[in-house]
Amino acid sequence: MTVIESVAPEQAEAAKLPPGVVVEGPLVDAKFLDSYIGFGFLVGGSIAALIWVFTQGIGWVEISVFAGMFALTTVGIGFMHRYFVHRSFRCGPVMRTILAAIATMTVQGSILKWVSNHRRHHLHSDKPGDVHSPYYDGSGNSHVSFRKGMMHAHGGWVWDRETTDGAYYARDILADPIAMFFTRTRWYWVALSAVIIPGAIGYVFGGVHTMIGCVLFSGLFRSYLMTMATSLVNSVCHSDGRWGYRRFETHDGTTNELVTSLLTFGEGLHNNHHRFPRDAYLSHAWYEIDINGLIILGLGKLGLVHDIVGVGKRQLAADGEQGGAAESQNAFDGAAEDLHSAGR
Ligand SMILES: [Zn+2]
Ligand SMILES: [Zn+2]
């Protein structure tokens, strides 16, 4: 059965959105302001970057800073996703501050917004109420075509006239002074990631000309491309097997897609992730390369993070034992746990 067939009976309920979705009002206006600023910043900067590349040219400094910052922020989205959303591991306040800084430097909105949207996505995955599904728009209506659905999932959703209520989905974030500090100061971290760090490195290694190239190419253009790579998880990895493969028969259109997995350091193993949402390490086979998961396991070995969820527990489930594996079966349990506590 395809996802479209499996969710069709709910179509009549489309107008009735679930709780935690805000339609119109100041929160939606604030979301649009964020979207306009972010979109203008990244698209304007990317156009300028391409003009600069073809008229002025770039060198190894710009390319190296591009690669380094792309890698850093791709790890950052792994922390945003697996730590702040799903609590796949735990850590102390110093480590949480570092994770929050890198996560906010991904230029994908505040921790509060990202966490709220993603928990809502899991709770209503590819059903009415999902924030970015190829099958339903933000109002819960079915998309008129698969192509339009894909465009909505890939980025069009940020222009829906509704938003996610952080007070409903992310009370733990609202109660966390570190996460909220980075939520309030998010634009400074965006500036650091997209302008100040690339510009400073460019100036040190090549003067003003290289500095401009680094800001445009390694800062703004890189932020745009990295956001597009992450968005493949919402579109390609929810294509119901049109791209990639489904290891598990989940109640959504999720797939594992290996090119997306390489570009996103493992986030493209999305069918595995929806099946075991709290797992810190998403790979189930040698060819499923999960760099973000390996980094978390490495941090665990160094003693910088602890209580890593999922490791060793799948085998318990395979052996028919109860206990550890059961906690990662429910698609929303990681978030639900945090909805009822301000715990870490
Ligand atoms: Zn998903
Ligand atoms: Zn997730």
What is the distance in A from the centroid of ligand 1 to the CA of 293? 17
Among the listed ranges 52-61, 65-74, 207-216, 329-338, which one has the minimum average pLDDT value?
329-338
- Please tell me the number of the ligand nearest to residue 235's CA: 1
Find the domain containing 247 and state its range: 3-339
Q: Which of 119, 92, 77 is nearest to 334 (CA)?
A: 119
CA distance 139 to 195: 36
- Please tell me the number of the ligand nearest to residue 328's CA: 2
Mean pLDDT of the 6-30 span: 69
Q: What is the pLDDT of residue 283?
A: 95
The yes-or-no verdict on residue 10 having pLDDT over 70 is no
What is the distance in A from the centroid of ligand 2 to the CA of 278? 8
Q: Classify residue 273: in a domain, yes or no.
A: yes
Q: What is the pLDDT of residue 313?
A: 58
The yes-or-no verdict on residue 1 having pLDDT over 60 is no
What is the distance in A from the centroid of ligand 1 to the CA of 47? 30
What is the distance in A from the centroid of ligand 2 to the CA of 293? 13
Q: What is the pLDDT of residue 332?
A: 43
Q: What is the pLDDT of residue 187?
A: 94
pLDDT confidence band for 317 (50 / 70 / 90): low
Contacts by 69-73, CB closer than 8 A, 24 or more apart = 69/193, 69/197, 69/198, 69/218, 69/219, 69/222, 70/222, 70/225, 70/226, 71/265, 72/102, 72/105, 73/102, 73/105, 73/106, 73/107, 73/193, 73/222, 73/223, 73/226
Q: What is the pLDDT of residue 15?
A: 53
What is the distance in A from the centroid of ligand 2 to the CA of 277? 6
pLDDT confidence band for 237 (50 / 70 / 90): very high
Tokens of 328: 């990662």
pLDDT confidence band for 6 (50 / 70 / 90): very low
pLDDT confidence band for 340 (50 / 70 / 90): very low
Q: Classify residue 270: in a domain, yes or no.
A: yes
Q: What is the pLDDT of residue 9?
A: 42
Q: What is the pLDDT of residue 4?
A: 45
What is the distance in A from the centroid of ligand 2 to the CA of 326? 17
Q: How many domains does the chain have?
A: 1
What is the distance in A from the centroid of ligand 2 to the CA of 335? 10
Q: What is the pLDDT of residue 208?
A: 97
What is the distance in A from the centroid of ligand 1 to the CA of 62? 33
What is the distance in A from the centroid of ligand 1 to the CA of 125? 7
What is the distance in A from the centroid of ligand 2 to the CA of 267? 9
Q: What is the pLDDT of residue 323?
A: 36
Q: Classify residue 344: in a domain, yes or no.
A: no
The yes-or-no verdict on residue 33 having pLDDT over 80 is yes
CA distance 144 to 239: 15
- Please tell me the number of the ligand nearest to residue 257's CA: 1
Q: Classify residue 180: in a domain, yes or no.
A: yes
Q: Classify residue 216: in a domain, yes or no.
A: yes
What is the distance in A from the centroid of ligand 1 to the CA of 315? 24
What is the distance in A from the centroid of ligand 2 to the CA of 274? 7
What is the distance in A from the centroid of ligand 2 to the CA of 216? 31
Name which residue leads in pLDDT, 192 or 13: 192
Q: Classify residue 19: in a domain, yes or no.
A: yes
Q: Classify residue 134: in a domain, yes or no.
A: yes
What is the distance in A from the centroid of ligand 2 to the CA of 230? 12
The yes-or-no verdict on residue 185 having pLDDT over 50 is yes
What is the distance in A from the centroid of ligand 1 to the CA of 113? 16
The yes-or-no verdict on residue 3 having pLDDT over 60 is no
Q: What is the pLDDT of residue 337?
A: 47
- Please tell me the number of the ligand nearest to residue 119's CA: 2
- Please tell me the number of the ligand nearest to residue 86's CA: 2
pLDDT digits (tens, 9 = 90+) for 200-236: 999 999 999 999 999 999 999 999 999 999 999 999 9
Per-chain mean pLDDT for the chain: 87
CA distance 222 to 220: 5
pLDDT digits (tens, 9 = 90+) for 104-154: 999 999 999 999 999 999 999 999 999 999 998 878 888 778 889 999 999
What is the distance in A from the centroid of ligand 1 to the CA of 196? 32
What is the distance in A from the centroid of ligand 1 to the CA of 100? 22
Q: Classify residue 234: in a domain, yes or no.
A: yes
Report helix, strand or coil for 89: coil
pLDDT digits (tens, 9 = 90+) for 245-273: 999 999 999 999 999 999 999 999 999 99
